[in-house]
């Protein structure tokens, strides 16, 4: 049986070209995994020893899936292939060769927690300020150095690096790196970055070892080559130098991990590294509709730095991409949740067919709350539920202690976070004193001078006074003012603000998002009591552990776009398409950063199989202030013929008050690395936003159980319309309504919330 018969011509050509350097440019949904696995199986069927094949991936899941597929073709021989992640494969090599570089073969591998724990100990020993030398920043700096093959010795000799550290007030980073490396060596341990760094050292210092593996690995394949960093690139290049039977597979349009050290130039320059390379392009997308593929192509065409390819689909045309405008992030969440229920009912889908993608983890809050309110089950991927994240629980711990100082779990959680000189020993003494005197922990804290002595007594006393100030603040102020005061005076905001790592920025944004939610709560007109204690009662209902424990549960998937890479869903919602959010404000400094954001949008769009929804809000809270938002420039880059606007475009003279207020950025054009202001006399009808419908005063949904064709109705967002058709049976009756401003729309009555105009 010819197992290659099911491949298209491009796929088959890539599989059968086994000699010399090969680059397979695999567009989204083009069957990349199938090509890699069939190519390996084809090599084995041609007589290549599996022990001579090295396949490098970026996830264990990908390696496992590939090996299982190969086994179906060639049987148990697939077990002998050297296949796995970069880290797992080179750890395997280091286990054999470690003694050559002074490590025992049974060396320990430190995970991230191990590394950070050791770094904290070193910072303490060197008497360095752990706020200035934030452990995440230090860890990131050392990791970056290793991925660029900069040893501790080279780091300390590099005048430019040292000058940068000194300018940032962290002149001891070189000493920390040196001490950390010495401690790891003394302990016979390597961290994750060392597995690549030490492999490079091994191959560089021991030519005989390099020769050994160059001749063992006669065929190399690298998956997701666009995601390789300098260290990975150099290892692969060295190993392939003798036979040059190297095949790299990837898509420059999906290179989205620069923040981890990935270098897109590795794939863009592959043809320069191997001038006789044979290039195969997998351009047929089997995943998505023509509409989605065409939209994705129109986005990525705006990137200048890319490999040329023409991705196409022979699938159905599919529905146009729905673009929705919301007035706030909370309304955006509500719109998305309602749309999921409506599409699920209309198209007989399951909840697991839906995914909501966003740029930052903080955006999950409004989505989670909206889904919960409508009873839509969901699962958060690549992160923790918003209210279960550590930084959120820390701040809520302060809130809990403010209103109930006898809450001992909250007290133990926050008493030394941020650090204030109340260590584990002092906490233990507080607990002993409370036990011996039959008191609550708070009683001891509030009277620390009676039970403790020295410096610890002063630190605990100051903590108690701070909590009492929070209690006084809460008695006379709104929920938001109290929450902001606690966030500031507890030190949480300062602590997170000073952490400039990727994780630190995400945590800082999450605290901001929590405060945004409290601000909105404070401004609700339907509540008489708006204190922080009332908000806490509301939150308590949301934070109960009610997640479905079944991993195969029928749930909507929520995740960042980075976490979605490699996945696919029938229906995808991409939310928060606003300037300074997506693209991120941090990405607007150069063309290369902006192009990576555009590739991220491309990845998001190509996760969708059947239907894609895009949405943005015209206002979002930031630190309690409601800010107007500009639609993302990426929306303006989409092919207009692919879009279905959830509002009616209006003709508007450029320069008019409406256009200037609502369309500041949509006409922004790129000039080199600088972005000019909107140019006059350029209007795209798909880009112009409609005037918002202002609901009738006292608007309230009517009972629509007796709705009839011909009736006039009002929708809170869509405005006034006329019912032109009703179909289906209760409770799933669908109404076709012609709205004056929007045209014809089909709505499920049970979700539509219509007011019948008498």
Catalytic residue among 12, 32, 170, 599: 32
- Half-sphere CA count of 585, side-chain side, radius 13 A: 6
Residue set of the binding site: 26-33
Report, in this order, helix, strand and coil percent for the chain, each rounded to 5: 50, 15, 35
Catalytic residue among 97, 165, 193, 223: 223
Name the nearest CA neighbour of 410 among 420, 421, 402. Answer: 402
Distances in whole angstroms, Cα of residue 45 to Cα of each of 7, 15, 31, 56, 243? 17, 12, 21, 20, 20
Name the nearest CA neighbour of 345 among 728, 755, 741, 736. Answer: 728
The total of other beta-carbon atoms located within 10 Å of residue 462's CB is 13
Catalytic residue among 33, 175, 216, 736: 33
Catalytic annotation present for 224: yes
Residue set of the binding site for ATP: 26-33
**Spatial CB neighbours of 442, under 8 Å, sequence gap ≥ 6:** 405, 406, 408, 411, 464
Catalytic annotation present for 435: no
Map residue 604 onto helix, strand or coil.
Answer: helix
CA geometry: angle 470, 473, 478, nearest 5 deg:
120
- Identify the DSSP state of 479: H
Q: How far is Cα 81 from Cα 66, in angstroms, rounded to an integer?
A: 11
Catalytic residue among 607, 633, 717, 755: 607
> 223 and 250 in contact (C-beta within 8 Å)?
yes
At 420, list the tokens.
Answer: 């204030």
- Half-sphere CA count of 332, side-chain side, radius 13 A: 29
Map residue 266 onto helix, strand or coil.
Answer: helix
31: left (phi over 0), alpha (psi -120 to 50) or beta: left
Catalytic residue among 85, 179, 232, 254: 254
Catalytic annotation present for 33: yes
Distances in whole angstroms, Cα of residue 607 to Cα of each of 255, 292, 296, 354? 15, 9, 10, 11
Catalytic annotation present for 254: yes
Beta strands 321-326 and 625-628: pairing type? Answer: unpaired
CA geometry: angle 170, 175, 177, nearest 5 deg:
95
Catalytic residue among 97, 193, 194, 224: 224
Q: To which residue do tokens 């998956």 refer?
A: 223
> 249 and 26 in contact (C-beta within 8 Å)?
yes
Q: Which residues are designated catalytic?
A: 32-33, 223-224, 254, 607
């Amino acid at each position: 049986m010819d197992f290659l018969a099911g491949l298209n011509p491009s796929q088959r050509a890539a599989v059968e070209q086994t000699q010399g350097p090969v680059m397979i440019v695999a567009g989204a949904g083009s069957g990349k995994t199938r090509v890699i696995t069939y190519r390996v199986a084809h090599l084995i069927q041609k007589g290549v020893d599996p022990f001579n094949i090295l396949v490098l991936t970026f996830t264990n899941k990908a390696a496992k899936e590939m090996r299982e597929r190969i086994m179906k073709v060639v049987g148990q021989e697939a077990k002998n292939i050297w296949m796995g992640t970069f880290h797992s494969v080179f750890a395997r090599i280091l286990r054999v060769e470690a003694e050559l570089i002074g490590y025992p073969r049974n060396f320990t591998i430190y995970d991230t927690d191990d590394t950070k724990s050791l770094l904290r100990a070193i910072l303490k020993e060197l008497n360095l300020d752990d706020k200035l030398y934030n452990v995440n920043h230090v860890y990131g700096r050392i990791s970056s150095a290793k991925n660029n093959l900069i040893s501790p010795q080279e780091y300390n000799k590099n005048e430019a690096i040292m000058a940068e550290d000194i300018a940032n007030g962290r002149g001891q980073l070189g000493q920390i790196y040196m001490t950390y490396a010495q401690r790891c060596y003394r302990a016979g341990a390597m961290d994750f970055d060392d597995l690549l760094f030490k492999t490079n050292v091994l191959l560089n210092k021991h030519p005989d070892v390099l020769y050994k593996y160059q001749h063992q690995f006669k065929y190399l394949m690298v998956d997701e080559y666009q995601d390789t960093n300098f260290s990975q690139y150099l290892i692969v290049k060295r190993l392939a130098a003798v036979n040059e039977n190297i095949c790299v597979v990837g898509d420059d349009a999906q290179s989205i991990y620069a923040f981890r050290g990935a270098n897109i130039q590795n794939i863009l320059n592959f043809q320069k590294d191997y001038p006789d390379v044979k290039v195969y392009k997998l351009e047929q997308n089997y995943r998505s509709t023509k509409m989605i593929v065409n939209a994705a192509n129109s986005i990525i065409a705006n990137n200048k730095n890319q490999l040329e390819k023409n991705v196409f689909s022979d699938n159905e045309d599919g529905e146009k991409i729905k673009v929705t405008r919301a007035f706030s992030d909370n309304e955006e969440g509500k719109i998305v949740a309602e749309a999921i229920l409506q599409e699920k009912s209309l198209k007989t889908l399951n909840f697991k067919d839906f995914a909501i993608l966003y740029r930052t983890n903080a955006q999950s809050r409004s989505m989670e709350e909206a889904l919960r309110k409508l009873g839509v089950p969901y699962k958060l991927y690549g992160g923790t539920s918003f209210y279960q994240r550590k930084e959120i629980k820390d701040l809520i711990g302060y809130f809990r202690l403010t209103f109930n100082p006898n809450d001992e779990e909250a007290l133990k959680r926050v008493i030394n976070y941020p650090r204030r000189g109340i260590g584990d020993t002092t906490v233990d003494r507080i607990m002993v004193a409370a036990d011996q005197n039959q008191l609550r922990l708070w009683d001891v804290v509030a009277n620390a001078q009676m039970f403790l002595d020295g410096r610890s007594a002063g630190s605990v006393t100051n903590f108690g006074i701070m909590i009492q100030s929070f209690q006084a603040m809460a008695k006379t102020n709104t929920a938001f003012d109290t929450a902001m005061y606690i966030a500031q005076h507890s030190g949480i905001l300062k602590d997170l603000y000073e952490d400039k790592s990727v994780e630190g920025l995400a945590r800082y944004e999450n605290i901001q998002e929590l405060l945004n939610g409290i601000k909105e709560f404070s401004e609700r007109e339907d509540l008489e009591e708006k204190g922080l204690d009332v908000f806490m009662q509301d939150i308590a209902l949301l934070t109960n552990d009610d997640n479905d424990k079944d991993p195969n549960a029928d749930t909507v998937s929520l995740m960042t776009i980075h976490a979605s890479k490699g996945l696919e869903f029938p229906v995808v919602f991409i939310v928060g398409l606003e300037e300074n959010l997506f693209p991120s404000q941090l990405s607007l400094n150069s063309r290369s950063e902006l192009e990576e954001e555009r590739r991220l949008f491309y990845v998001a769009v190509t996760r969708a199989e059947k239907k894609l929804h895009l949405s943005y809000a015209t206002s979002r809270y930031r630190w309690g202030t409601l800010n107007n938002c500009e639609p993302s420039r990426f929306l303006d880059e989409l092919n207009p013929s692919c879009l279905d606007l959830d509002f009616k475009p209006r003709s508007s003279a450029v320069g008019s008050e409406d256009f200037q207020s609502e369309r500041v950025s949509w006409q922004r054009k790129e000039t080199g690395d600088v972005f000019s202001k909107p140019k006059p006399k350029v209007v795209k009808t798909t880009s112009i936003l409609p005037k918002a419908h202002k609901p009738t005063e006292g608007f309230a949904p009517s009972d629509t159980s007796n709705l009839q064709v011909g009736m006039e109705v009002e929708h809170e967002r869509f405005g006034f319309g006329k019912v032109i058709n009703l179909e289906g049976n209760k409770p799933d009756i669908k109404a076709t309504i012609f709205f004056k401003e929007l045209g014809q729309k089909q709505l499920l009555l049970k979700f539509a919330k219509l007011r019948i105009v008498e």
